[in-house]
Chains A and B, each alone.
Chain A
């Protein structure tokens, strides 16, 4: 419970408040002797001593107001007592990448890509020179050539998912 603080003007000087849409209009001070808005302030311990005293007196005299206050208290108790289930561990928000990890990942990809491309270019050069047999070339180019194709297929998938993935900048 917060420390009681003075938050509302005394009802005698409180200007008419505009009710938010859809709310029940507060009863006028003429009828209840207080601005009913003060009930919430009283419930939350946020009124001045004078206003608290005024509300307390009205509550003693007015059974309907007392019922309203009791119901508001029950509402607050119910809300405070509500417990919520957290999501499953796997669903928790993901941790955004840090800059160093982003840069090292980028550098790693560039290095691997450059190495594979260089190997393929050299292999193709050797193929065109006619100095090596087919078996040698397949042994030489099979792995990097396959990696290039695999990389290309992953790249295509990534590019496609980038268009819809809002969380492309995060990692688990």
Chain B
């Protein structure tokens, strides 16, 4: 199974070949359907790679625009999502290169009703509810992504946030499987150190 087949597994709304062909012919409904199918995932990937909502929205718009602009070059037999992921990834890297991406406003980007936004280390004397600690870990973890290199960040995002397999990541990033594992482990180790306080609190 190729990465395109694999990543495209989430295209659960049926084959997209016909949609892509119709979109190429200028069918507005088909284009809208493609946008509706993929825009959330495109936005979330951009958000995870970049760490703030404004940049993520910009990149999402650019990615969609490029997708439709180059639709005639796209093999309609292949699933759309991996192609979009590549576009998003390349645009995010471009953005990193052009300027240092605005540091995380990411605490505002969670779909989480809890209002805990403290960035102080957890106080072990306070008997925090486990759910609250987990919520805090998620926030800190996402904020800590900003302290990784773009290369480390993208591999953690693809594996741990997007849940792609090693094979899919290897094909997306065009690196060997062994490199996926070593790069991923290096990134995870660095993240582990960055949120060690929260991890210790949860592990005990």
Instruction: Give residues in A with beta carbon < 8 Å to B.
Output: 2-3, 5, 7-9, 14, 17, 19-24, 26, 36-41, 44, 46, 67-68, 70-72, 74-76, 78-87, 91-96, 98-101, 166-167, 169-170
Contacts and interface: CB of A to CB of B under 8 A. Distances in A.
B28 interface: yes
Interface residues of B, number: 66
A20 B195 CA distance: 19
Contacts of B69: 96, 169
A74 B200 CA distance: 10
Given A5-B167, A75-B195, 14 more contacts: A2-B166, A68-B192, A71-B200, A71-B203, A75-B191, A82-B142, A84-B111, A93-B43, A93-B61, A94-B64, A95-B31, A98-B27, A98-B28, A169-B69
Contacts of A101: 26, 28
Nearest to B167: A5
Nearest to B61: A93
A36 B110 CA distance: 32
B183 A20 contact: yes
Interface of B: 26-28, 31-32, 35, 39-40, 42-44, 47-48, 53, 57, 60-65, 68-69, 109-112, 134, 137-138, 141-142, 148-149, 151-152, 156, 159-161, 163, 165-167, 177-178, 180-193, 195-196, 199-200, 202-203
Contacts of A96: 31, 64-65, 68-69
Contact of A167 (B35, B61, B141): B61
Given A95-B32, A96-B64, A78 B141 contact: yes
B112 to A, nearest CB: 6
A22 B203 contact: no
Contacts of B200: 71
A95 B35 contact: yes
A32 to B, nearest CB: 13
B57 A87 contact: yes
A35 B45 CA distance: 31
Given A19-B186, A20-B149, A87 B43 contact: yes
B187 A23 contact: yes
Closest 4 CB pairs of A and B: A2-B165, A23-B186, A79-B160, A98-B26
Nearest to B183: A20
Nearest to B184: A40
A14 to B, nearest CB: 8
A33 B58 CA distance: 47
Instruction: Indicate the member of B62, B180, B185 with the most A CB atoms within 10 Å.
Output: B185
A169 to B, nearest CB: 7
A94 B61 contact: yes
Given A46-B166, A96-B31, A72 B192 contact: yes
29 contacts: A2-B166, A7-B166, A22-B152, A37-B185, A40-B185, A41-B185, A44-B166, A67-B203, A71-B199, A72-B189, A74-B137, A74-B199, A74-B203, A75-B191, A75-B192, A79-B141, A79-B161, A82-B141, A82-B142, A84-B44, A84-B48, A85-B110, A85-B111, A86-B43, A87-B43, A93-B43, A99-B26, A101-B26, A167-B61
